[in-house]
Amino acid sequence: MKRSTTKWRGLVILAGVLIVAGLLLGACGSSDEGGGGASPSAAGTPKPGGTYNFVLGSDPYAIDAAQAYESEGMQVVHQVFQGLVAAAVDDKGNVAVAPGIADRWETTDNQTWTFHLKKGVMFSAPVSTEVTAQTFIDSWNYVTDEKNASYVSYVLAPIEGMAASGFSTDPKKGLTGLSAPDPYTLVVKLQYPFADFAVSLLHPVSSALPVDYIKKIGYEAFALKPVGTGPYMVSKWVRKQYIDLVKNPDYWDKANSGYVDKIHMPIIVSNQTSWLEFQKGDVDYTHVPPGQVAASKANPNVTSGEWTAKGWPYITTDYVAFNWEDKVVGGSQGLELRKAMYMSTDAEAILNIVHEGEAVPATGVVPQGMPGWRPDVSPYKTNDDAGAKAALAAYGKTPPTLNYWYNTDENNQKTAEVLQAGWKNAGVTVTLSNFEWTTFLDKTSKGEGQVYRSGWVADYPSYDNFLYPLFQSDQPTGNRSSLYSNPEFDALLAKARATNDATARYDIYAEAEKMMLTDAAVVPTVYPRAFRVTNNRIAGFFQDPIGFVNMWQLWVK
């Protein structure tokens, strides 16, 4: 999962998300993930050395692949850990599944998958051991062991030996669907056919983990300085201040090792502060404060080419979540109240005031650009004052004052104020409260609060990724922030996952999405675009539609 901090914004109009079916069969060649080498470009020939300064908008929940489940922590994980597959993205925003640690894989029935691993893939120091098929068996058993409580173990839910809860049915037996006929071959047997299985492994939780090392030093020590197989290593994490990464001198893929020696990631919660630091030259990447998108585009440093101001395609949705277990807004008793709030949500103002046009109104939870996406799947529309008043009349009483929570951020605050005004116009009063990011995640995952902001960035380009982890009843509450529970919805998801035909699968997913939206479990507001300003002293910058920056491809000009 990537719970978005809503630091990333934008109009998601992709040329289409391409899942290359041919990559599921036969040899796939070498990984396209790296981007190293000294190929010349318009920015000159890449060269090693220097420091890249990349702002994190909040202190991450975690920066190791076992536990990271929100956008800022997963940005760190992306530079440090690697899995069987990798994302290859072209300059039009098309995402394809490419080789990672596995150089090829095959399946004949979408239920038994065989992955062939590269030889010589090494963990960085101080582990410095080779990755084998057994490494993945150990890693996946570690993250699906309930005592380790990973919020993102759901990614491995289809594997034999997993319970619906997202944890292994028997920790002693582990995932019975995993086997290694030889050190470099991993066979994965699923409980049902799942055509998107290879795609789902783009999630970092499926990465290679040094489990013996974790057990040796303890998870708390590992969490502060995790070790992976990637081109960068964690040097230091000072909570709420910064994270420093350094180049991995022993990186196994020499042709694709990183250029910059150090990646400095200051943790700056305020967009205004981040923008000021960028203008002083102290950071190379920034968000901009609300109301300053147009001004940043007109900045002389942008028009001269010294900086670039751009909205990057982004597979994401912002939405309002209701606590399904709350006695006022939850369950069947709160349906008409939720409908009233849905239809009185001023998504148009969020689009124009908060995003300054760098987004489009959301018509469902699944965003544009996702394979199988359907427009207008929801039976309700935002900015529908008449519908909101009719729903509130059907509710039959004056609702009590509700609370709306959001994580601390200027954009989130402005969005909250817009929501508050729209709901008040319909006759629903809410108070606003904000919390630091990790506190916000902790409180909402415990089922506290009534109404709160949420957002989801694609972990992998699949319709399933915007429904299963967010709304399936057995998923951990860290992902399922609405606490929505509906057995009929769950049954549709199970049916969709087991359907091989893509068109039929998308039809079932769309039916499930419509059911959840008819229940008004959430209010989708906008599909944002990731608007960023970058310093062109750094070459090779590209942010993919899943929100990741391959920092090993960057160099100081």
231 in a domain, yes or no? no
**Are 367 and 479 found together in one domain?**
yes
**Are 325 and 427 found together in one domain?**
yes
241 in a domain, yes or no? no
| pLDDT of 170 | 84
**Are 327 and 197 found together in one domain?**
no
Average pLDDT for the chain: 90
More confident residue, 124 or 530: 124
User: How many H-runs (helices) and E-runs (strands) does the chain carry?
Assistant: 16, 21
**Widest distance between CA atoms in the chain:** 69
pLDDT tier, 43 (very low <50, low <70, confident <90, very high otherwise): low
112 in a domain, yes or no? yes
In contact, 434 and 427? CB cutoff 8 Å: no
Domain boundary among 222, 250, 284: 222
* Number of Cβ within a 10 Å radius of residue 221: 12
Percent of the chain at pLDDT > 90 equals 76
Kindly report the pTM of this predicted structure: 0.82
Is the pLDDT confidence value at 13 over 60?
no
Domain count, the chain: 2
In contact, 4 and 81? CB cutoff 8 Å: no
**Are 368 and 493 found together in one domain?**
yes
pLDDT, one tens digit per residue, over 304-345 is 999 999 999 888 999 999 999 999 999 999 999 999 999 999
**Are 214 and 351 found together in one domain?**
no
More confident residue, 517 or 171: 517
Specify the DSSP element, H or E, that contains 491. helix 487-497
In contact, 93 and 14? CB cutoff 8 Å: yes
In angstroms, the first-to-last Cα distance of the chain is 34
| pLDDT of 93 | 66
Domain boundary among 171, 196, 222: 222
9 in a domain, yes or no? no
Specify the DSSP element, H or E, that contains 402. strand 402-407
| pLDDT of 491 | 96
Alpha carbon 477 to its chain centroid, in Å, reads 16
**138-166 residues labelled b (16+ CB within 10 A) or e (exposed):** bbbbbbbbeebebbbbbbbbbbbbbeebb
Is the pLDDT confidence value at 41 over 80?
no
Angle at CA of residue 187, ends 182 and 193, nearest 5°: 170
User: What does the alpha-carbon distance between residue 99 and residue 86 come to, in Å, rounded to a whole number?
Assistant: 6
CATH code of the domain covering residue 368:
3.10.105.10
Percent of the chain at pLDDT > 70 equals 91
**Are 204 and 337 found together in one domain?**
no
pLDDT tier, 38 (very low <50, low <70, confident <90, very high otherwise): very low
259 in a domain, yes or no? no
229 in a domain, yes or no? no
143 in a domain, yes or no? yes
pLDDT, one tens digit per residue, over 536-550 is 999 999 999 888 999
431 in a domain, yes or no? yes
| pLDDT of 321 | 97
pLDDT tier, 533 (very low <50, low <70, confident <90, very high otherwise): very high
**Are 217 and 320 found together in one domain?**
no
pLDDT, one tens digit per residue, over 185-224 is 999 999 999 999 999 999 999 999 999 999 999 999 999 9
pLDDT tier, 92 (very low <50, low <70, confident <90, very high otherwise): low
Q: Phi and psi (nearest 5°) for 384?
A: -115, 85
User: What does the alpha-carbon distance between residue 16 and residue 18 come to, in Å, rounded to a whole number?
Assistant: 6
CATH code of the domain covering residue 180:
3.90.76.10
**Are 497 and 356 found together in one domain?**
yes
Sequential DSSP letters for 335-378: HHHHHHHHHT--HHHIIIIISTTSEEE-SSSSPTTSTT--TT-S
| pLDDT of 12 | 26
**Are 207 and 331 found together in one domain?**
no
Is the pLDDT confidence value at 412 over 50?
yes
Q: Which domain holds residue 460?
A: 316-528
Domain boundary among 222, 250, 265: 222
User: What does the alpha-carbon distance between residue 508 and residue 537 come to, in Å, rounded to a whole number?
Assistant: 48
**Are 340 and 212 found together in one domain?**
no
| pLDDT of 514 | 98
